[in-house]
Amino acid sequence: MGTVSEDNQISNRVDEKTTSRRPHLRVVSGHLAAAQAKPASSRQLALPLEWHAGGIPAHPSTPNYLRVVPDEDEREELAALGKGRPHPVAWAAQMSRAIFEVALGERPATQLRKHIAPDQLTTLAIRGTSYARHPAARSATGMTRLRKIRAVRCCLVAPGTIEASAVVVGAARSHAVALRMESRPGTWLVTAIDFR
């Protein structure tokens, strides 16, 4: 049976072994770094701005067939498309909420007949009818149906065609709605819909 002094000697040897293997770290931050300036050899060097992984740059150049559009240019293009018809961002937000309500069976699909392509409207109406018949939907009739639209994004993918997405925030959870909108005289027509 070991004594207390033997136990202390053993623990001291273990501590020496573990501390000798640990790297010596030094935290340098802000004004302390300037106050405790060390010789140039001990200071951390600046990281290179260009990184290469296996000879391939980390930020590859933009392919010739793609065009980088600054935010201001895209806003101007969207505003120009909105002349004579509703602004695409506001219209996408409004339609996302209405489409989501039809998909839940809370709004009749016939209300959106002018704004959605017939094949998409038929699919949406079937989805809304089957959702409204589900027992879980029947038990949630007393829940609040107040929903907010957040994070509306519009992207011009072709002349007169916009793809938009919106987040519908409800009482229970949030959902994402994606739309493809094509310009028509005085309005927009939704030709594709997706939910997540």
| 17-40 tens-digit pLDDT | 555 555 555 555 545 445 455 555
Angle value at C-alpha 32, between 31 and 34, nearest 5 degrees: 65
Residue 114 confidence class, pLDDT cut points 50, 70, 90: very high
Q: Which of 130, 109, 137, 138 is nearest to 121 (CA)?
A: 109
Q: Please state the rounded mean pLDDT for residues 180-195.
A: 91
| 46-103 tens-digit pLDDT | 655 565 566 666 666 767 766 666 666 677 777 777 678 888 888 999 999 999 988 8
- Where in the chain are the domains? 71-195
3-state SS class at 190 = strand
Residue 91 or 143, more confident: 91
Whether domain 71-195 has CATH 3.50.50 = no
Inter-CA distances, 29 with 26, 34, 39, 156, 170, Å: 10, 9, 16, 45, 44
Contact 116/91 with Cβ under 8 angstroms?
Answer: no
* pLDDT value, residue 134: 74
Residue 142 confidence class, pLDDT cut points 50, 70, 90: very low
Q: Provide the phi-psi class of 9: left if phi over 0, else alpha when psi is between -120 and 50, else beta.
A: alpha
Q: Please state the rounded mean pLDDT for residues 174-185.
A: 91
| pLDDT averaged over every residue in the chain | 75
